[in-house]
Every structure is written in structure tokens, then in C-alpha cells.
Structure 1
């Protein structure tokens, strides 16, 4: 894990203007009111990934927590924010704003800060779309309040 590089990416996203339309960037995806960066991505897993998958998931959560400690030095303690109810509301047909709707489909919870300087929300989460797909450590910067 390269904390200095990850902090640099988060600083860049906090300073960068939001685009008018959805699109890919050198760090991930951006859209009106948000930026999402994949800070690190694991390898994929076999169908019977078992302990390797569990160990990798635990390592990604530890990496999120380690990076979160550095962000806590800047913005104070994070809010722990579950995205489970956001996913449920999305599946029930409620129109949830991005990046929260899409994020809830593959990230169960995030650590969440709000920068007093920019008014933007900063979220860290661990993503895994499916048991065979890679884990990702994600950073999200958005002006959209959590639902």
C-alpha cells in the first residue's frame, strides 16, 4: 500500500472540478458532482477462492483503515456509513443520486468525512462485485450528501 500516493490522489480529487457528464478518468470514474478512484485492485479469484479471498478482503479492509487514520488526522473521526439501506431503496425503485446508488451495489459500507474547506464528502470503501472478481480500495469525493 502506498499511502502517500493514495493521499495525493484524494487531494487531486478534492481540488478537481466535477465534469458535466459521466466518464472515465486516469483514476476511475467521474460524473456530475462526484469523482471515484480505484486506489488499488487485487487479482481475481477462482470459484473456490476460499481462504485466499478472505485474507485479501481482510487486507483491503486493513488498508482502508490505515488510510482512514491519515484522513482522520485531517478531518477528524469518520462517520461509519452503511450502504445496505441505500441498496435496498435503490432496488425498491427509489431514485438515489450518484455516486451513492452505484456505490451501494458493490460496497457494503464506507468511512465518511466532510471537508470543512471544500464542503465535499470523502468516502473510503472496499468494493467487490462478486466472489470471483477483484477487491478494490475506493476513494470517492462528492458534493452530494449521503442519502
Structure 2
């Protein structure tokens, strides 16, 4: 491979990575726009036998690569996402407040979400990496919903 080929490959890397992640993980074409749900866009292996954490770190790096590629593609299409800290929602749920879905489930699995609001419909699409417990799989999550929750976010 020549150095020109290597530069060309690096410049195409985000698009190639998005295509790979989209083909492997993301099935958003099956998401009903009227749905208010949390969808698994990718799931790693479980980590029951990962005593040193190496398998989990590798899976996290793979999920982060896919998330970054998807965020880049959606940002190119819809603009910069809102970075939303989910701790507010987790606290609200723990304190007995009603937190609507999918944000309630998401706040129990992830610390933050990249969120793209659709201005005319009030609907939102969010992407995050979550995990229910350290032995359970990492999940690349796609959340679809409307404006609801603390502070309207």
C-alpha cells in the first residue's frame, strides 16, 4: 500500500466505520417513529469470566468506536447533538418522581446520552452506551421518545 492509499483510507475511516457499525449493529430502520422506546443497536458478550477486565475494556472500545461513528454520521445529517447527563433522571426516579420511558430505563444503564431533537415533531433520537451490571453485556442503545422529564429534556 502506498502512502497515498493509506491517507485515502484514513480519510474514509469514519464513513467506513459507520457503514460497518450500521450494518452490524444499528437497525433503526425498524424503529417506529411513534414509538417511545429503548432499542438495542448492539450488544457485547457478557463478562462473567473477565477477572482482569480486559475483555470488558476491549468491548467498551469497540462500542465507543461504533458510537463515535454513528454520532459523526448523525451530526453530519442533523447537526450537533445535545449531551445530556442522565444523573438528574436517575435521582428523580430514586426519589419517587415519575420519569417517563425511555429515559427512566436509560438513566439506569448509562451516565449520559447524545440527543438529537427533531424541531417540528418534538421527537428525539438519542444514542448511548449502557450496562445494567458489570458482568452483563455492554449495549449500544438507541432511544426514541418525546420531550418529557425534568426540565423538559
TM-score (norm 1): 0.77
CA distance in 1, matches of 2:29, 2:118: 11
Which runs of structure 1 show a deviation greater than 2 angstroms over 4 or more consecutive aligned residues? 4-7, 9-13, 15-18, 116-119, 144-147
Paired position in structure 2 for 1:38 = 40
* Offset from partner CA, 1:48-77 (integer Å, 9 cap, x none): 251211221122122111101111112101
- Report the CA distance between 1:4 and its aligned residue: 5.0
Judged with a 3 Å threshold, the aligned counterparts in structure 2 of structure 1 residues 108 and 66 are, in CA distance, closer, same or farther, namely same
* Offset from partner CA, 1:76-95 (integer Å, 9 cap, x none): 01111111121112111111
| Alignment of 1:10 onto 2:28 | yes
Flag structure 2 segments of 5+ consecutive residues without an equivalent.
Answer: 1-19
- Report the CA distance between 1:46 and its aligned residue: 2.2
Higher helix content, 1 or 2: 2
Whether the 8 Å contact between 2:37 and 2:101 is mirrored in structure 1 is no
CA distance in 2, matches of 1:6, 1:52: 19
Query: How many matched pairs?
Result: 130
Whether the 8 Å contact between 1:90 and 1:96 is mirrored in structure 2 is yes
Secondary structure of the structure 2 residue equivalent to 1:2: helix
Paired position in structure 2 for 1:92 = 95
C-alpha root-mean-square deviation of aligned residues, in Å? 2.1
Whether the 8 Å contact between 1:97 and 1:144 is mirrored in structure 2 is no
CA distance in 2, matches of 1:71, 1:57: 21
Secondary structure of the structure 2 residue equivalent to 1:59: helix
TM-score (norm 2): 0.74
Flag structure 1 segments of 5+ consecutive residues without an equivalent.
Answer: 19-33
